[in-house]
Structure 1
Amino acid sequence: MVAGTNATATFIPAFLASWLQLLAPDECFDEFFVKFNILHVPCLKILISKCLGYAIIVGSFIVKVPQIIKILKAKSGEGISLISVTLELFAISAAWAYGAGHKFPFSAYGEAIFLAIQTGTIAFLVCAFSDQLTKGLAYISAYVGIMGFLLSPAAPMGLLAALQAGNVVTVSVSKLIQASANYKNKSTGQLSVITVYMLLFGSTARIFTSIQETGDTMVVLTYVAAAICNSIVAGQFIYYWNSPKTDSNVSKKIQ
């Protein structure tokens, strides 16, 4: 029998029960697999939240890979605003540091780790394909150093809270800068439609999971802002679907 469950026997093998407890912890495991009360509403909310959370984390492994591949194939970051990418990286990293610092469940913020790695890679590629390799290397080095501090015990909780509080503005400005760049170019350039729509789904689902798993108003508002702004960029893919790509010199001006 797995520790923390009801003394009544369950038909679930011990090795499987430990994994199921990631989705239905403690009392909810008992409700579902001991008492067979599968309609227990509070536990159903937890189960749905956990499933969505881990699904988002799994998806985050590849969410920006299509974007990275598109840049590599084109050997260009045309249409991608480096300012927008940097602000997005800031927001992702603040969420990562805040979630880790407050010891939230990994299912509540884990995707931030993988999104940060991929977003940092995109920023580096935008620099590299703009003949600014040194700038790209300095960018990544500075980022690694900053995150090393934010994830360390030396980082003040007040600082992490301030960074998270600023995320609503940061996320909004990041996406609106990219939306503005798309509008000026009359094209979505090298943006990946798969990546944008996966981010829209993830930010929307995170509203529910954040309410369930953190109850943190700042975190919830951040994902509400992200969902709204991601929907704007996603809508531009439909609007500019058949638009020709713009001259690369125009896109470089907005980076």
Structure 2
Amino acid sequence: MATSPVKEFLRTHFMSEKCYNEFFVNLHFMHVPCLTIVLSKTVGFWIMLDTLIAQLPQVLKIMRRGSAAGLSLTAVLLQLYAISCPVVYCMANNFPRFAWGERLFTLVQTAVIGFLILHYRGDTLKGLMFLLAYSGIMFLLGSYATAAVVSTMQASSVTALVASKVIQAGTNYSNGSTGQLSSISVFLVWASSLALIFVSLQDTGRSLNTLAHILSACLSCILLGQLFCYRKSSSAGKQKIE
């Protein structure tokens, strides 16, 4: 008898034949080992999806509004550094391209955000020079960086990501507005932080890396809260004026 497309998809990407039978034949939906496997697979797919599209809504919002107001260039540069570190690590260690190629999408999107911030500030030439300089530095680091430099960058990437969120949250607070910050991008990054916490707990248990991911998720919650609060206060202000 031919296998149904749904069953084939689930067995190929999310679970083994044994787990499929436990869930859909024996109707044992609380089978813990199988639930753990399915959750791990789902989290892995989510992290990959987030890597591909997380910053795209932010790029589109800036271009649609023709403004990058409220976005901290320092925060974006720190975020770019945090994303670049794993790429440099993979390049320096000659990992196969398929193992890290999807990270290039986030890297390119974040670099474009940095360029757009400079462009809409009237510094288009600086933006182009930034892209050129960044490309050159990435090539040099990936090709010639020493093992000590690569390891240090990899170890500092999560710290840089946390710092970028602190700076953006501080900028929002100072401005009393989130400006052109994309709520979709912030939500996707927050969801990815939760997925990374799960992966970190599975791999290393309670470690400093796990704590850093928890802190990153908490800061993403703060950014989401700011988006909600400032948008609500802005809407209330408009209604009062009308």
Q: What range is the shorter-chain TM-score in?
A: 0.7 to 0.9
Give yes or no for contact 2:11–2:17 (8 Å, CA) kept in 1.
no
CA drift at 1:228:
1.8
Task: Give the 3-state SS of the residue equivalent to 1:189 in structure 2.
Answer: coil
What's the counterpart of residue 161 of structure 1? 151
What's the counterpart of residue 68 of structure 2? 77
Give yes or no for contact 1:120–1:140 (8 Å, CA) kept in 2.
yes
Aligned CA distance change for structure 1 residues 239 and 19 (closer, same or farther; 3 Å): closer
Q: 1:215 aligns with which of 193, 204, 212?
A: 204
Q: Distance in 1 between matches of 2:88 and 2:200?
A: 15
What's the counterpart of residue 132 of structure 1? 123
Q: Distance in 2 between matches of 1:215 and 1:185?
A: 39
What's the counterpart of residue 240 of structure 2? none
Q: Distance in 1 between matches of 2:12 and 2:145?
A: 32
Cα deviation code 1:63-111 (max 9, x no counterpart): 222211221122111100100100011111113334664969x78x775
Give yes or no for contact 2:115–2:131 (8 Å, CA) kept in 1.
yes
Normalising to structure 2: TM-score of the pair?
0.76
Give yes or no for contact 1:167–1:222 (8 Å, CA) kept in 2.
no
What's the counterpart of residue 192 of structure 1? 182
Q: 2:137 aligns with which of 146, 163, 171?
A: 146
Cα deviation code 1:26-58 (max 9, x no counterpart): xxx46547xx56677455424322221212322
Cα deviation code 1:133-182 (max 9, x no counterpart): 11111211222223224444x43333222112223431222111111111
Stretches of structure 2 that go unaligned for 5 or more consecutive residues are 24-29, 236-242
Give yes or no for contact 1:80–1:126 (8 Å, CA) kept in 2.
yes
- Which structure shows the bigger proportion of residues in helix conformation? 2
Give yes or no for contact 1:164–1:218 (8 Å, CA) kept in 2.
no
What's the counterpart of residue 178 of structure 1? 168
Q: CA RMSD in A?
A: 3.4
